[in-house]
């Protein structure tokens, strides 16, 4: 079957690849954070990503804001390094980008891209990943029924 050139498909494929790259890199950063875990040394969790996954899958702790700030910092750092066309492509994946794309061409704003929209979208994608992530440590922690502090 012959491939057909599509501007929408190109932008969408680029954005999906960028999303996966950025979310994956932020997860690796969080997995590298192995000291000063808020869950305690006896929790069995090995890194901050494990802690985020447990809290997203079970119940958020009083310390949740610290995790959110850490995730936001990693996301913001990576988004700030994007080329303008990469930011534009990612923005089209956001709810705001979807709404803009559905507006009639003659009424929509010429350049509505907002970096914060992209950062919020990627944060939501990270939480979706955390909700679906599992490993032996997370499973064991959840099976033991620890309460989040």
- Give yes or no for a contact between 79 and 118, defined as CB atoms under 8 angstroms apart: yes
pLDDT at 149 over 50: no
* 1 belongs to a structural domain: no
- Give yes or no for a contact between 100 and 108, defined as CB atoms under 8 angstroms apart: yes
Number of domains present in the structure of the chain: 1
Q: What's the pTM value of the predicted model, to 2 decimals?
A: 0.90
- Helix, strand, or coil (residue 148): coil
Distance separating alpha carbons of residues 43 and 39, to the nearest angstrom: 6
Domain that holds residue 68: 7-144
* 55 belongs to a structural domain: yes
pLDDT at 44 over 70: yes
Distance separating alpha carbons of residues 39 and 46, to the nearest angstrom: 10
pLDDT digits (tens, 9 = 90+) for 93-123: 999 999 998 888 889 898 899 999 999 999 9
* 149 belongs to a structural domain: no
* 54 belongs to a structural domain: yes
Per-residue pLDDT, averaged over 137-148, amounts to: 80
* 121 belongs to a structural domain: yes
- Give yes or no for a contact between 49 and 31, defined as CB atoms under 8 angstroms apart: yes
- Give yes or no for a contact between 62 and 149, defined as CB atoms under 8 angstroms apart: yes
Q: Which candidate, 122, 146, 119, places its Cα nearest to that of 51?
A: 146
* 2 belongs to a structural domain: no
Confidence of residue 136 (pLDDT cuts 50, 70, 90): very high
* 13 belongs to a structural domain: yes
* 64 belongs to a structural domain: yes
């Amino acid at each position: 079957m012959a491939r057909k050139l599509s501007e929408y498909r190109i932008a969408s494929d680029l954005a999906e690849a960028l999303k996966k790259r950025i979310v994956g890199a932020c997860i690796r950063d969080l997995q590298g954070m192995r000291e000063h875990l808020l869950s305690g040394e006896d929790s069995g969790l090995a890194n901050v990503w494990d802690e985020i996954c447990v809290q997203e899958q079970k119940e958020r702790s009083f310390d949740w804001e610290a995790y959110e700030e850490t995730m936001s910092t990693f996301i913001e750092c990576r988004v700030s390094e994007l080329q303008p066309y990469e930011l534009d492509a990612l923005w089209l994946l956001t709810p705001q980008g979807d709404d803009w794309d559905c507006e009639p061409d003659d009424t929509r704003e010429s350049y509505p891209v907002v970096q914060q929209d992209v950062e919020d979208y990627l944060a939501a994608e990270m939480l979706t990943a955390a909700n679906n992530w599992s490993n032996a440590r997370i499973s064991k922690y959840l099976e033991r029924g620890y309460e989040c502090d």
